[in-house]
Structure 1
């Protein structure tokens, strides 16, 4: 078996033709759907980017124990398991987060990898004395920043070097993937992951794509929405959305190059193709931009998934209603290559769904560390927030104390306790570090940036746009029981139950093995 996995970042499902998009044409996603099984109830797990990738690579949810962080020594890794079973894995990516402190143990799990530079805030090109007076005129104040080290600073510098379409990291990803296929398409037992940062913000695409989405906006470059409430003028909002559509059209065209290659070389007959994303993105819906700070609405949580399997080519163009989730990808990849699934994996292979639509999950849960736990049964979504979203009683569990671009603060580690193993750590003890105001993850994903933190219930059939939250004790009780079972299944720490106002199961950990002197007194 040979497998190609295409992972886009921040795909808004409802912007794709196969999921009902009207404002943009995505002919190559349409082509893909005609060749694949399209999954209509695929959901995120841990949020956002790197937590989602840990779910994908390990096959289990991690947001109950950890925020943004690297693969841990005890984690199961599907590319490592593939390699141990004689299956070559290769990663082609322009995703800069793999090469920062909080994600630096993911790409090295693959047999080989290639990194294409220049996306987002990649610390790539060196320009010691930029012409800031000129650059300030070019970019909207929302995305202009002269502070060294911040993402906008690096993007402004890098963007000067993206002049031709062949310079764009997205193009280079698919160029490099074609080179891999040229060299290896006549061999067997390989897994190719093509991972692109697009259409993640900034929504930077060649100008010809933007030409298809004209607006009345007349100002400096504005293609990087803030992570916050929509406060821009109508023309500015339209401009940002036009750039997202342009970037998505760019992604669609590059996907088409891969589909052309499959057509030209008859890869449909002997190569699996899976296409998905890590999470969605709010483009003004619910009066929000982006993700992380607000509730994980459907536009973020409910994501696309397309699966082509040569042995089930007769299912091309069909759809599935069964609930699936990001961690299900890992056991699916292992199943494609006849590899055993480790005991610690909680995801379920979706391969049986290619035969029939018998459910593999009754519910799925998803969330961001420190915020709500959300549960969905396909009909309802219940968002259960702590009564008070604070850092009190909030801990991270790790033996790899890095996050996003940063090492943990020394003060965090000075207050760390050693705790007994969880049931998925293979006997490894962990550091339990308290969340602090100065924790590096706090300015980005910490509790002080969460808004609209009210526990709510949504009926997805009657209210698919989630405009009318309500409460129903009978429905909520059923969903809370299901949520609690999923937390138990993932060995969630006892304090998470307490934060959510739920009774902890007997034996919920962790057991402290050491205690800081001030805490013991």
Structure 2
């Protein structure tokens, strides 16, 4: 048995023709792969953003119910470690630099081996003290000096960009291990995450002419650029999606060349979406988890070709990856895993999951059954709020730095005897650096997804809202959310 998980960061489903036939974005390799796969129409995130989503994938549990951005904990039971007990080899190839920053500890160490392609975002890689060769004087959005330094090492040389290098690394690994069995390969690219840096030949597909200031990384918040720049950044994203698709195609070609395509389970998904001017907003994290963020693509190719070219409306999310992979290898899923395997879907058997719960720690909690989506807003009076962490790191800093005397320690999590830090939180950690953004999540919202799939018109119906509020409370109990 072989399984490959391909994770493309920030990949929006509505930019893919399999989900949106009217899109102008070219993804011929994903389109062809969908013909060999089961396409999931109701697949959702779990925890956001990047590292919380990866802990979901790695542990089959919802990270955001206990903490925000953070590492693999010493008490976590992870997918690669369970596979290792079954003598299944695991390998990760990635360009995701957050694994190597404060708050990303322990993830790569779960794998038997791993490979890292450097240079994405603000990766402190190209070590120059001078200013980078090209620092535009005029620009929209954000400009990272370190990223401008890194791009000197690949500018306009497509094969040297991080995403092509990551897929090439995966192809090399497959060539080296041609014909082997019992492995789990995770191929993870940061694209099409911002900065939307892409060779000009891909931009030429979508927009050859642009005379405005340099722009490839929006500032999170309300759209703050002219209309032509807003259109341009969407085109840059589209171009990056197309480049990512090209190199995904090379991975598929290598699998076919090594005769490992047909009988390998291949899962392709993302971690979350992104606002590209939708609802007059840029970015993610600070607003409600509308489907632009929460409804993500999922294609699963069965190793025996079952349900190829078909679709399912089963409600799924990324915490289901771990039990699905373990199921395929014949391994027992640990009791603490909260996800549910997708294997019954391929056998037309009932599956014990009807809701997806998702959100961000300290911001919102959301639930959907594919018919309605309910967004429960935070409330300033809802105190206390805590993060529970065995390792108290978060994105680029430490939890509780402002008031360490208020931190408690104890055995607060039912599933482990490990003592953890119980850190009081007044503001969500992933909102650090942003102004007061509470306006964007001040109201709880209910949407009828059948009548209003674009989530434009909130439903005002106290009876239905009460029903989904009850569903939400029930799921929070089932998923062992801390009592507060």
TM-score by length of 2: 0.95
| Matching of residues 253-272 of structure 1 within 5 Å | 253-272=246-265
In structure 2, the residue corresponding to 1:126 is in which secondary structure? coil
Which has the higher mean CA deviation after the structures are superposed, 392-401 or 261-270? 261-270
In structure 2, the residue corresponding to 1:19 is in which secondary structure? coil
User: Counterpart of 2:338?
Assistant: 346
User: Counterpart of 1:491?
Assistant: 480
In structure 2, the residue corresponding to 1:54 is in which secondary structure? helix
User: Counterpart of 1:423?
Assistant: 414
User: Counterpart of 1:228?
Assistant: 221
Does residue 13 (structure 1) correspond to residue 4 (structure 2)? The answer is no
Candidates 366, 370, 383, aligned match of 2:362: 370
Distance 1:86 1:284, change over 3 A: same
Displacement after TM superposition at 1:350 (Å): 0.7
Distance 1:449 1:247, change over 3 A: farther
Q: Are the aligned partners of 1:322 and 1:358 in contact in 2 as well (CA < 8 Å)?
A: no
Does residue 273 (structure 1) correspond to residue 266 (structure 2)? The answer is yes
Does residue 188 (structure 1) correspond to residue 181 (structure 2)? The answer is yes
Candidates 389, 392, 408, aligned match of 1:401: 392
What is the RMSD of the two structures over their aligned residues, measured on CA atoms? 1.9
User: Counterpart of 1:517?
Assistant: none
Displacement after TM superposition at 1:361 (Å): 1.7
Does residue 96 (structure 1) correspond to residue 97 (structure 2)? The answer is yes
| Matching of residues 23-422 of structure 1 within 5 Å | 23-130=24-131, 135-137=135-137, 140-144=139-143, 152-163=144-155, 164-214=157-207, 216-311=209-304, 313-356=305-348, 358-388=350-380, 392-422=383-413
Q: Are the aligned partners of 1:292 and 1:450 in contact in 2 as well (CA < 8 Å)?
A: no
Q: Are the aligned partners of 1:295 and 1:453 in contact in 2 as well (CA < 8 Å)?
A: no
User: Counterpart of 1:433?
Assistant: 423
Structure 1 residues not aligned, in runs of 5+: 145-151, 496-521
Displacement after TM superposition at 1:177 (Å): 0.5
Counterpart-to-counterpart distance in 1, 2:104 and 2:389 = 13
User: Counterpart of 1:443?
Assistant: 432
In structure 1, the residue corresponding to 2:6 is in which secondary structure? strand
In structure 1, the residue corresponding to 2:432 is in which secondary structure? helix
Which has the higher mean CA deviation after the structures are superposed, 153-162 or 440-449? 440-449
Displacement after TM superposition at 1:440 (Å): 5.9
Displacement after TM superposition at 1:445 (Å): 7.8
Q: Are the aligned partners of 1:371 and 1:389 in contact in 2 as well (CA < 8 Å)?
A: no
Counterpart-to-counterpart distance in 2, 1:276 and 1:409 = 34
Displacement after TM superposition at 1:226 (Å): 1.6
Structure 2 residues not aligned, in runs of 5+: none
In structure 2, the residue corresponding to 1:431 is in which secondary structure? strand
In structure 1, the residue corresponding to 2:25 is in which secondary structure? coil
Q: Are the aligned partners of 2:71 and 2:106 in contact in 1 as well (CA < 8 Å)?
A: yes
Q: Are the aligned partners of 1:412 and 1:436 in contact in 2 as well (CA < 8 Å)?
A: no
Q: Are the aligned partners of 2:140 and 2:225 in contact in 1 as well (CA < 8 Å)?
A: no
Displacement after TM superposition at 1:266 (Å): 2.9
Counterpart-to-counterpart distance in 2, 1:245 and 1:299 = 15
Counterpart-to-counterpart distance in 2, 1:357 and 1:447 = 47
The structure in which a higher percent of residues are helix is 1
Counterpart-to-counterpart distance in 2, 1:245 and 1:204 = 11
